[in-house]
């Protein structure tokens, strides 16, 4: 196949008819649906939901013959052929739409192979819901076609998991990070938390080839009182998780601090009290000594958004003028009224000092914050029980620890062999954590805990070559997203929706 595909002069040898293929597809689906219905009536066990994935591969536009507008003669008019083909696809969707969760168990993948007119293939997909129809175009080379077929393979996997896993679960209600004219606003809330890690014995056994089938109860708690600051909005998402900014802290053992300069922190806990200092501008000096409330930090500029109350004097009609009703043309008869208004300022960290508040567990002053920044990955879907939530993250944590241990063992063996080749070292994120978090807010009604898979925040550029379903691409996946991630938040912000078409919400 590779030899044939590499010949650029190849052209389609004959016309292709779309309608017979679609008619066969209708027939197959009707047969399967009828068998399911008969089995149900006979009391036989039948799956509650079935997945249907269609790969429609073509090397050009359709050349079917259809009835002309007079309904007597036949024609190859491209417009009429396109209408007939798209109508057949719509009828197929109407038939399957009667299923429960049809949008998450039916995928129609159209692949155009070559450099031909694929406008009809595109129209077939456009007539379907966004989560159902997928179009890919492959050029005349093996790698491009394999990439397109990999998309279909991933689609089969995702729809199979949806049908066998009881269908789509409830999506978690969360918000993305907010944006302003100055940039991305990141506000943190603090959570009391229990931290768990994978013990060193697990990694040591993995390196020895002792793979354990037991996954539950393997992770162990990290001693000590812990606090996690978690961003109120997520900055990235994948097929299974939303990704949040996170900072971790331990309880201070030294003397209590009265105040701290804001320049010591690179994140803002919403609601903390601060005092303004060190402003030297003629228009801003009067703000020195004023107290305000932290709202967020602007990622791009590093400034902190602070809400303050300032007194302003407004000029308006005098009391006598208002009594007489002469509100117009009486600018000379006015009085100045002093009002208090709320104002949001963007200030540098060196111009702010954190104050000790009356709230229990003063987030900045009573805790030692780790210098490293982290990301917390939360399940995008709500599991039915706490046990399932814990299992979801525990399995991922053990898998990541196993991969890190195997990577280290690989490097050790390669170094031991002293190979003549320049074999690169393999590294994997290690020291990942699992966190159960409880919102630490006075008077909070937030009783349900949150669960996070936690790893270090990595900055830089990211190029992804593999998918979540085991395939490796010849081209960088999502290469348009390779911009510097300092602003976006690091590698934890990788967006992977293109790999796995999401079920309709």
Residue 12: burial class (beta carbons within 10 Å; 0-12, 13-18, 19+): middle
pLDDT at 209: 77
Q: What is the mean pLDDT of residues 91-104?
A: 72
C-alpha span between 431 and 370 (Å, rounded): 14
Instruction: For the chain, count helices (H), then strands (E).
Output: 9, 26
What whole-number percentage of the chain has pLDDT above 90?
20
Confidence check: pLDDT of 120 > 60? yes
C-alpha span between 161 and 240 (Å, rounded): 12
Confidence check: pLDDT of 13 > 80? no
Q: Of residues 131 and 266, which shows the higher confidence score? A: 266
Which tokens sit at 412?
Answer: 């050790």
C-alpha span between 60 and 66 (Å, rounded): 18
User: DSSP assignment, residue 262?
Assistant: G
For the stretch 448-484, pLDDT in tens is: 589 999 999 987 776 767 665 556 666 655 433 333 3
pLDDT at 293: 92
Hunting for tokens 């077939």 — which residue is that?
124
What whole-number percentage of the chain has pLDDT above 70?
69
User: DSSP assignment, residue 493?
Assistant: G
Q: Which of 86, 105, 84, 88 is nearest to 96 (CA)?
A: 105
Residue by residue, DSSP assigns 204-241 as HHHHTT---S--TT--EEPPS-EEEEEESEESEE-SSE
Task: Enumerate the H helices of 127-194 as residue ranges.
Answer: 142-164
Mean pLDDT check: name the lowest of 5-14, 354-363, 411-420: 5-14
* Mean confidence (pLDDT) of the chain: 76
C-alpha span between 348 and 301 (Å, rounded): 9
User: DSSP assignment, residue 475?
Assistant: E
Cβ-Cβ contacts under 8 Å for 197 (sequence gap 6 or more) = 219, 220, 222, 431, 432, 433, 434
Which tokens sit at 77?
Answer: 């008019």
Strand partners, 298: 185
Confidence check: pLDDT of 320 > 80? no
Which tokens sit at 467?
Answer: 């998918």
Grade residue 48 by pLDDT with cuts at 50, 70 and 90.
low
C-alpha span between 233 and 340 (Å, rounded): 31
Confidence check: pLDDT of 379 > 60? yes
Q: What is the mean pLDDT of residues 58-75?
A: 85
Residue 290 has phi, psi (to 5 degrees) of -75, 140
Which tokens sit at 93?
Answer: 């969707």
Hunting for tokens 């393979």 — which residue is that?
153
Alpha-carbon distances of 301 from 84, 276, 297, 344, 433, rounded to whole Å: 56, 18, 9, 16, 30
Q: According to the per-residue pLDDT averaged within each range, which of 13-17, 459-463, 471-475, 487-491 is highest?
A: 459-463
Residue 357 has phi, psi (to 5 degrees) of -105, 175
Confidence check: pLDDT of 170 > 80? no
C-alpha span between 205 and 402 (Å, rounded): 9
Grade residue 443 by pLDDT with cuts at 50, 70 and 90.
very low
Residue 486 has phi, psi (to 5 degrees) of -60, -45
Which tokens sit at 28?
Answer: 């197959």
Tell which phi-psi region holds residue 500, choosing left (phi > 0), alpha (psi between -120 and 50) or beta.
Answer: beta
Q: Which of 301, 304, 255 is nearest to 275 (CA)?
A: 304
Residue 356 has phi, psi (to 5 degrees) of -80, 125
pLDDT at 442: 42
Residue 74 has phi, psi (to 5 degrees) of -110, 155
Q: Of residues 394 and 311, which shows the higher confidence score? A: 394
């Amino acid at each position: 196949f590779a030899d044939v595909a590499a010949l650029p002069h190849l052209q389609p040898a004959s016309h292709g008819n779309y309608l017979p293929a679609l008619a066969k597809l209708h027939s197959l689906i009707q047969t399967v649906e009828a068998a399911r219905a008969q089995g149900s009536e006979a009391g036989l066990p039948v799956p509650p939901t079935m997945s249907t994935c269609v790969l429609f591969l073509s090397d050009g536009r359709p050349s079917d013959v259809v009835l002309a507008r007079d309904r007597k003669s036949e024609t190859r008019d491209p417009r009429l052929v396109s209408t007939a083909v798209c109508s057949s696809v719509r009828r197929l969707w109407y038939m399957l739409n009667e299923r429960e969760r049809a949008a998450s168990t039916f995928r129609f993948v159209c692949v155009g192979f070559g450099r031909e007119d694929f406008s009809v293939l595109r129209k077939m997909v456009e007539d379907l819901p966004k989560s159902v129809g997928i179009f890919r175009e492959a050029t005349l080379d093996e790698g491009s076609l394999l990439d397109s077929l990999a998309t279909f393979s991933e689609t089969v996997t995702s729809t199979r998991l949806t049908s066998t896993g009881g269908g789509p679960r409830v999506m978690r209600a969360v918000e993305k990070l907010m944006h302003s004219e100055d940039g991305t606003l990141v506000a943190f809330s603090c959570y009391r938390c229990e931290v768990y890690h994978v013990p060193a014995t697990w990694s040591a056994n993995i390196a020895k080839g002792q793979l354990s089938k037991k996954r539950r109860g393997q992770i162990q708690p990290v001693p000590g009182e812990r606090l996690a600051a978690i961003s109120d909005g997520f900055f990235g998402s994948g097929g299974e998780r939303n990704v949040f900014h996170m900072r971790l802290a331990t309880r201070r053992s030294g003397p209590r601090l009265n105040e701290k300069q804001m320049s010591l922190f690179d994140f803002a806990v919403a609601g903390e009290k601060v005092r303004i200092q060190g402003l030297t501008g003629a228009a801003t000096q009067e703000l020195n000594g004023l107290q305000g409330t932290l709202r967020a930090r602007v990622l791009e500029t590093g400034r902190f958004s602070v809400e303050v109350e300032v007194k302003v004097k407004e000029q308006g009609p005098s009391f006598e003028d208002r009594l007489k009703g002469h509100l117009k043309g009486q600018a000379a008869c006015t009085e100045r009224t002093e009002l208090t208004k709320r104002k949001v300022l963007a200030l540098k960290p060196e111009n702010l000092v954190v104050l000790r508040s009356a709230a229990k567990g003063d987030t900045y002053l009573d805790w030692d914050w780790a210098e490293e920044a982290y990301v917390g990955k939360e399940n995008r879907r709500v599991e039915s029980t706490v046990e399932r939530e814990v299992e979801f993250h525990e399995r991922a944590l053990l898998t990541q620890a196993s991969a890190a241990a195997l990577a280290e063992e690989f490097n050790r063996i390669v170094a031991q062999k002293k190979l003549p080749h320049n074999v690169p070292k393999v590294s994997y994120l290690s020291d990942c954590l699992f966190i159960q978090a409880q919102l630490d807010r006075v008077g909070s009604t937030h009783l349900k805990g949150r669960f996070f898979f936690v790893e270090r925040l990595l900055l830089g550029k990211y190029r992804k070559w593999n998918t979540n379903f085991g395939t490796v691409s010849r081209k960088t996946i999502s290469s348009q997203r390779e911009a510097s991630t300092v602003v976006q938040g690091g590698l934890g912000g990788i967006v992977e929706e293109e790999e796995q078409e999401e079920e309709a919400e």
